[in-house]
Amino acid sequence: MKYTGILNRDISAMVARTGHFDRIVISDAGFPIPAGVPCIDLTMGPNLPKVPDVLKMLTLELPIEQFWFAEEISPSKEARAAELSLIMPKAECIPLPHAEFKKLAYGAVGVIRTGDFHAYGNVMVASGVAY
Query: Strand order in 92-96's β-sheet?
Result: 39-41, 110-113, 23-27, 123-127, 64-70, 92-96
- CATH code at 57? 3.40.1650.10
* 121 assigned to some structural domain: yes
* 4 assigned to some structural domain: no
Q: How does the average pLDDT of the chain come out, rounded?
A: 97
Q: Report the catalytic residues.
A: 20
Residue by residue, DSSP assigns 104-124 as HHTT-SEEEE-----TT--EE
pLDDT band at 130 (very low <50, low <70, confident <90, very high): confident
Q: Tell me the pTM.
A: 0.96
**Whole-number percent of the chain with pLDDT over 70:** 100
pLDDT tens across 69-114, in order? 999 999 999 999 999 999 999 999 999 999 999 999 999 999 999 9
State which residues form the domain around 17: 9-127
* 2 assigned to some structural domain: no
Q: What pLDDT, on the 0 to 100 scale, is given for residue 119?
A: 96
Number of domain units in the chain: 1
